[in-house]
Amino acid sequence: MDKSQIPALGIDLGGTKICAGLVINHTLTGETRRIPTPQGADNITKALLELIRHFQETNFIMGVGIATAGIVNPETGEVIGSTGNLPGWEGTPIKKLIQSRTALRCHVENDANAAAYGEFHAAHLEDRICTVTVTLGTGIGVGIVLNGKLYRGAHFAAGECGHIKISMDNRRRCTCNLWDCWEAYGSGRGLQATGWKLLEGLSPGQSSLVDKRDNLTTKDILEAAAEGDSVARQALEKWHEHVACGLVSLCHTLDPDAFVITGGMSKFIDYSTLRDMLADRTLPRVSEKLEIHPSILGEAAGMVGAADLVLDAAREAEGAAVL
Amino acid sequence: MDKSQIPALGIDLGGTKICAGLVINHTLTGETRRIPTPQGADNITKALLELIRHFQETNFIMGVGIATAGIVNPETGEVIGSTGNLPGWEGTPIKKLIQSRTALRCHVENDANAAAYGEFHAAHLEDRICTVTVTLGTGIGVGIVLNGKLYRGAHFAAGECGHIKISMDNRRRCTCNLWDCWEAYGSGRGLQATGWKLLEGLSPGQSSLVDKRDNLTTKDILEAAAEGDSVARQALEKWHEHVACGLVSLCHTLDPDAFVITGGMSKFIDYSTLRDMLADRTLPRVSEKLEIHPSILGEAAGMVGAADLVLDAAREAEGAAVL
């Protein structure tokens, strides 16, 4: 049997939903399951085990890759910090639990890292020195691939770039409680806050969004912008500037070959505007040859990347056994 | 003969002076020569060759390491960008010139990278995953050592962190012509600008610096602060905040084990203040175990690091020859 045709199960565990699907050759294959994320660590673990059993009923699988919110130690497979979206999840020894209950190989990874690994392979960027994948969603997550490997830092917190500081005046508080984090401006939540701020003191005649201000959503802003509302357009333009501002710091620190922009908000990026903004705000050496790729995997990036990681681990273990 | 006892010549080529000295075991040994930097590429090359000849008269040397301002391709040994301080130096094939004229092995490196490599070894940080050395001088330079190797990025511009954006309002223009670069605030030049700004509209009775405002130097500010001048103290406090602001971005991007702070301005850092500021402005996971080391090599960092790099290259070449 050709082992490259045996799938791994990729699971993306987010604050609101859990998605799972089988992955072969960096691609989802067959059915994808999506369930709401239950409350509490025990219920999440139970849901993960049920998903795995479901896929095992009809498939032989090589292992399970789990992309989860929070800072992860992938060696122990434990979530060790920052899981605001998943209360009670910190400290759960996921890998150990899954392996002992299913006898399957398991790899647990931070969701932005998993997405980065998935997009890196899907876009065939294997020959690049540095690829930085930015997940623009409710928050901002970053995954850094250096010479083909995820770079995780000294305390598994590399790529927590949502908390880069892009202003010094304590203007906006981030959900992490720090001030002026990139994420407080460049994420979906950031766009909302920018819209809200721009609407301050306006009368209903000045923007169609004024009446919606109390419960303003990113969808409201995007729709109003599409209909030509000038305040909504200004909010979108500012949001692009905010996204660019963090990318500038990443350019001058990591000097990447390529950015990949993924996540739910990435489809609203105007790439031509973003490229121009980066060219204007960086040293020529850094941006001249910089590639900016839109996501290839979209919402599947976390699942595919997590599955890729467990498949790689299986191959490495096999290689080691043969030696 | 014990080859580890044969020195390399380390040369630090800056905008105002060239320093050279012999290095054994990550330490300067014997005489250090210091000459003013001449104008133009030909004269600089001539000065470098004279320095090498001077040290060769009385010593057998393994090679020459050159730390230079500007973005460097260390494979070709050519300065390929950003040499505002050394007009006309860009494009000079230094390594080729030195090797052909002296028959010595030569390694050319960006000065912040060379300093980082020197400090990394001098502080015995070899077991760390990520060490980030920040050179605070007239400008700001950063060198990143990952798993024992300098990380240079896709276009040899990694660590150009002086141009991280720490504000979004186009408040201060950097010497690179970009706006609100870290260097425009956190360098010596940045401290000067902050002092100047704080003195705006003050009368001579309010600060001893008011009369010096037109030609304000960092020395003026540091002396006045030592004498208790409140405006000077405020400038120094703000400077610490500005330095911290860039470090926060580096923490959340690279998640380093350790920062080393070097360069002419580093001796004015209050480390306790800086540590507190970082703890207040970063995720706990990132700063809890973060080490901040003051420079060990001081002004010699560039010389020592450049010499270390050519000694390493010589050892690697020898290892390859034996294999």
3-class DSSP state of B186: helix
Note the pLDDT of residue B5: 86
Crossing angle between the packed helical segments A230-254 and A188-199, to the nearest 10 degrees: 140
What mean pLDDT do residues B297-304 have? Answer: 96
CA distances (Å), origin B204, targets B198, B221, B227: 13, 15, 16
Q: Residue type for B308, please?
A: D
Note the pLDDT of residue B318: 80
Across the interface, of B178, B286, B288, the residue whose CB is closest to A281 is: B178
CA angle B73, B75, B81 (to 5 degrees): 10
| A197 neighbourhood in chain B, CB within 8 Å | none
Q: For chain B, which residues make up each domain, given as ranges?
A: 3-116+299-322, 126-295
Indicate yes or no: CB of A160 within 8 angstroms of CB of B283: yes
What mean pLDDT do residues B225-249 have? Answer: 98
Task: Please give the ipTM for the structure prediction.
Answer: 0.95
Backbone angles phi, psi at B90, to 5 degrees: -60, 140
| B253 neighbourhood in chain A, CB within 8 Å | 142, 144, 158-161, 164, 249-250, 253-254
- pLDDT score of B182 more than 90: yes
CA dist., res. B107 & res. B109, Å (int): 7
Distance of residue B178 Cα from the nearest chain A Cα, in angstroms:
6
CA dist., res. A91 & res. B261, Å (int): 34
CA dist., res. B187 & res. B240, Å (int): 10
Total beta-carbon pairs less than 8 A apart between chain A and chain B? 161
In A220-281, DSSP assigns E strands to: 258-262
Note the pLDDT of residue A15: 85
- Nearest-CA residue of chain A relative to B142? A253
Which of B173, B253, B259, B291 would best serve as a mutation to test chain A binding (most A beta carbons within 10 A)?
Answer: B253
Q: At the topology level of CATH, where does A3-116+299-322 sit?
A: Nucleotidyltransferase; domain 5 (3.30.420)
CA dist., res. B78 & res. B312, Å (int): 19
Interval B276-292: pLDDT, tens: 999 999 999 899 999 99
CA distances (Å), origin B305, targets A36, A77, B24, B145, B300: 54, 38, 11, 12, 8
CA dist., res. B1 & res. A282, Å (int): 50
Distance of residue A46 Cα from the nearest chain B Cα, in angstroms:
28
CA dihedral B302, B305, B307, B313 (to 10 degrees): -140
Q: What percent of chain A has pLDDT over 90?
A: 88
CA dist., res. B252 & res. A266, Å (int): 21
- pLDDT score of A25 more than 90: no
CA dist., res. A166 & res. A172, Å (int): 11
| B156 neighbourhood in chain A, CB within 8 Å | 255, 285
Interval A91-125: pLDDT, tens: 999 999 999 999 999 999 999 999 999 999 999 99
CA dist., res. A91 & res. A103, Å (int): 21
- pLDDT score of A69 more than 80: yes
Crossing angle between the packed helical segments B301-322 and B111-122, to the nearest 10 degrees: 80
Which of A126, A255, A280, A290 would best serve as a mutation to test chain B binding (most B beta carbons within 10 A)?
Answer: A255
What mean pLDDT do residues B229-242 have? Answer: 98
Indicate yes or no: CB of A163 within 8 angstroms of CB of B283: yes
- Predicted model pTM: 0.95
| A289 neighbourhood in chain B, CB within 8 Å | 154-155
Note the pLDDT of residue A77: 95
| CATH number assigned to the domain with residue range A126-295, chosen from the 4 options 3.40.50.300, 3.90.1150.10, 3.30.110.40, 3.30.420.40 | 3.30.420.40
What mean pLDDT do residues B43-72 have? Answer: 96
Confidence category of residue B322, pLDDT binned at 50, 70, 90: low
| B167 neighbourhood in chain A, CB within 8 Å | 166-168
Confidence category of residue B41, pLDDT binned at 50, 70, 90: very high
3-class DSSP state of A189: helix
Structure token pair of residue A195: 């819209």
Domains A3-116+299-322 and A126-295 share a fold: yes
